[in-house]
Amino acid sequence: MIQMMKLTGKEELISIIKDRIKKEGAISFRDFMDMALYYPELGYYTSPKAKIGGYGDFFTASELDKAFGELLGKQFVEIYQKLDEKKFQIVEIGAGKGYLAYDILSFLKNSHKDVYSNTEYVIIEKSPYHVDLQKEILKGFDNVRWVQDIIDFEDESVTGVIFSNELFDSFPVHVIRKINGKIYEVYITLDQDDNVKEILKEPSEDIKRYLRELNIHIPEGMTTEINLDAADYIQKIGRKLKKGYVITIDYGYPSAELYKYYRMKGTLLCYYKHRYSENFYENVGLQDITSHVNFSALNYYGKIAGLELTGFTDQAHFLTNLGLMDIFAQLQEKGDYESYERLNRLKTLVLPKGMGEKFKVLVQHKNVDSPNLKGLEILPYTSERYKL
């Protein structure tokens, strides 16, 4: 973490952050990150600006090829058949530009008309900019609606699947540091020159409880993240689901791997125009700030809300189980330029040490008798790194 730094970026947002510090005193890094990402109309995610793709700051799997959405669609068809309910919902949290929803819905409409006709596709999206993009790209489908937050659903009102792709990594996090055997939380204040200055304060009881409940013991000198918002949100998801599955696709690790000594600086990174840095105080409101997901926490706190663990794997195994190699074979058989271009893009989804291994898939279920799914048929052999 940077100890002292001049804030740069959107001047209006910087002024709001500084005014809050001057009025309230030091604020937690979590609150700073929340404002930088989500302050109304000025935050990174809430402002009208391209964030994903070639003109944005990062790529997602849904940007690379339609096969990602088609394979997810296959998994949703199996869930539909397994639940055998008249009312079926697919709830996507944070749909970006809407490409993934488009690919899923196109697959269902073209290949599984019975599933499509009985499915309501609900998008949870807070960004007005992204809602406009999504409505334009999805205008050819008649079964899509939008809500602002998971709390807009009644408790136990969703039957089907609630899923997200790169959601939890963007939640604001508390930053903690261990010094002389004691845990402190990082707060930010201003020095006499109006620069950001980090100070250490006693952590909240919520942070202490999180560390205790997940049995987390971080090494001496480590600076790392605690995502209390994710722990709260997975419980909200669990309470809204009546019967079905929660599928979370994101990058991260279980607790035992996330807080290893070789991650002494934590996992926080910033992305700005496809370049990454560890300077959280520049390009405020203009750059993404992310951290790795603690999948042990999603599993633990999901159980509190009735979500049982179905399985935990990586993206490569998940997509391969669902038939990605069949798509590879079909493209190789065609042998034309477009097919080879698609093959190269698709390889990115499953490459070891790349997206295939970096991205994990956590599947949880509620009120399902035989919950096993095709996507979890063959699991990674490195079981210790996948132990929740």
Residue whose token pair is 């993240």: 225
Tens digit of each residue's pLDDT (9 = 90 or more) over 249-275: 999 999 999 999 999 999 999 998 768
What are the start-end ranges of the E strands in the chain? 4-5, 27-28, 88-93, 119-124, 144-147, 158-165, 174-179, 182-190, 196-201, 223-226, 241-253, 269-272, 275-277, 288-290, 293-294, 308-314, 359-366
Non-local CB neighbours of 295 within 8 Å, separated by 6+ positions: 248, 252, 253, 254, 312, 360, 362, 388
Non-local CB neighbours of 355 within 8 Å, separated by 6+ positions: 61, 315, 348, 349
Phi and psi torsions of 7, nearest 5°:
-75, 130
Confidence of residue 59 (pLDDT cuts 50, 70, 90): low
pLDDT at 49 over 70: no
pLDDT at 91 over 80: yes
Tens digit of each residue's pLDDT (9 = 90 or more) over 298-308: 999 999 999 99
**In the structure encoding, which two tokens stand for residue 164, read together?**
């997200």
Q: How many Cβ atoms from other residues are within 10 Å of residue 341's Cβ?
A: 12
Terminal-to-terminal C-alpha distance of the chain: 28
CB 364, CB 239: distance < 8 Å: no
Which whole-number Å values give the CA distances from 302 to 32, 234, 306, in the listed order?
27, 6, 6
- Note the pLDDT of residue 60: 63
- Note the pLDDT of residue 57: 44
- Note the pLDDT of residue 339: 80
CB 123, CB 144: distance < 8 Å: yes
**Amino acid making up residue 77:** V
Mean pLDDT, rounded, for 211-240: 98
Helix axes 128-137, 99-111, angle to 10 degrees: 30
Tens digit of each residue's pLDDT (9 = 90 or more) over 32-46: 999 999 999 999 988
pLDDT at 162 over 50: yes
- Note the pLDDT of residue 249: 97
More confident residue, 340 or 44: 44
- Which range (74-78, 123-127, 347-351) has the least confidence? 347-351
Query: What is the value of pTM for the model shown?
Result: 0.93
Residues in the chain: 388
Tens digit of each residue's pLDDT (9 = 90 or more) over 343-387: 888 887 777 766 778 899 999 999 999 999 999 999 887 667 889
CA distance 296 to 99: 29
pLDDT at 75 over 80: yes
- Note the pLDDT of residue 16: 98
Non-local CB neighbours of 69 within 8 Å, separated by 6+ positions: 62, 99, 100, 101, 102, 103, 104, 106, 107
